């Protein structure tokens, strides 16, 4: 959807999706640190108005902010500072509304107060980047709700055309040509993986594949590329679900960081 604007200078993007679970379950997943860490990224949230929050994205990248509205289990909002250099603060509002069959409509709005279009590309990237993580959220709520979770994300910049980078990444992972519902075992990475292909997404700016892993441990793998102008960013995210999820993530992260850099670079000749 295009960026929306009003006469006050506010610019915003909005997303809405259906999630399995009760409002209380979805609140736990989206408005707490342990919940977010199970499907998005390592997060800490102080659960009250004025409480501090922090999202950690790896490689020394993080954003901080504060809670601006706290109404469990239906509405949560916060503002982030320094999310992109000298960009103005961005405000995020999440609302959760119950529907029949233990499902909820979740609405997320990112707002930026700026009369300039300087930050429009970054604001649009929020809208483009969230759907993959929302799919992880659905898997978490459907298969792993209530389990301890831990996650990490590794990223690398790659040269060349997006389709070529995507081809190198999927071949290196052992998921080239994968289809939804297919069982795949990947042996070429730093750890052997086996699971079900849950989602495959391909469009001009973004491509990703998602697997619900059965071995060597319960987890979700999200791997893909995103084009930012001429730059192609590749990423691999893991979401582990077990009592020792923190230890598993800490041991696995450096292996995949080193692997990804080599996997997406063009080979000489």
pLDDT digits (tens, 9 = 90+) for 204-258: 889 999 999 999 999 999 999 998 777 899 999 999 999 999 999 999 999 999 9
Domain of residue 45, CATH code: 3.30.530.20
Tell me: the pLDDT tens digits for 172-202? Answer: 999 999 999 999 998 888 999 999 999 999 9
CB 146 within 8 Å of CB 28: no
Q: Say yes or no: 136 and 66 in one domain.
A: yes
pTM score above 0.85 = yes
Same-domain status, 191 and 78 = no
Give dist(CA 102, CA 156) in Å, integer. 39
Query: How does DSSP classify residue 110?
Result: E
Residue 175 lies in a domain: yes
**Tally of domains within the chain:** 2
Whether the link from the prior residue into 29 is cis, omega within 30° of 0, is no
Instruction: Tell whether 74 and 14 lie within a shared domain.
Output: yes
- Residue 90 sits in the same domain as residue 14: yes
- Report the first-to-last Cα separation within the chain, whole angstroms: 41
Classify the phi-psi angles of 40: left when phi > 0, otherwise alpha if psi is within -120 to 50, otherwise beta.
alpha
**Residue 268: inside a domain, yes or no?**
no
CB 67 within 8 A of CB 80: no
Residues 64 and 171 in one domain: no
119, 144, 169: which is the final residue of a domain? 144
Last residue of a domain, one of 144, 173, 207: 144
Full domain range(s) for residue 258: 149-263
């Amino acid at each position: 959807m295009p960026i929306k604007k009003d006469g006050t200078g506010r610019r915003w993007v909005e997303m809405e999706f259906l999630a399995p679970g009760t409002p209380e379950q979805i609140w736990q997943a989206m408005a707490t640190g342990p919940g977010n860490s199970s499907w998005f990224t390592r997060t800490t949230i102080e659960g009250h108005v004025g409480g501090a929050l922090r999202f950690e994205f790896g490689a020394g990248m993080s954003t901080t902010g504060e809670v601006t509205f706290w109404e469990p289990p239906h509405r949560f909002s916060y503002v982030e500072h320094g999310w992109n250099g000298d960009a103005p603060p961005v405000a995020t509002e999440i609302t959760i509304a119950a529907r029949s069959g233990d499902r909820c409509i979740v609405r997320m709005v990112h707002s930026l107060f700026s009369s300039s279009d300087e930050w429009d590309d970054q604001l649009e990237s929020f809208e483009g980047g969230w759907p993959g993580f929302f799919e992880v959220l659905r898997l978490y709520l459907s298969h792993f709700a209530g389990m301890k979770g831990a996650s990490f994300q590794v990223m690398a910049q790659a040269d060349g055309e997006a389709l070529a980078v995507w081809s190198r990444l999927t071949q290196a992972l052992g998921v080239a040509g994968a289809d939804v519902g297919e069982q795949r075992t990947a042996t070429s990475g730093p750890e052997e993986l086996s699971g079900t292909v849950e989602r495959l997404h391909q469009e001009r700016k973004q491509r990703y594949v998602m697997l619900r892993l059965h071995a060597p441990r319960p987890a979700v793998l999200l791997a893909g590329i995103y084009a930012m102008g001429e730059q192609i960013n590749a990423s691999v995210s893991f979401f582990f679900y077990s009592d020792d999820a923190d230890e598993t993530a800490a041991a696995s992260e450096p292996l995949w960081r080193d692997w990804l850099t080599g996997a997406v670079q063009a080979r000489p000749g």
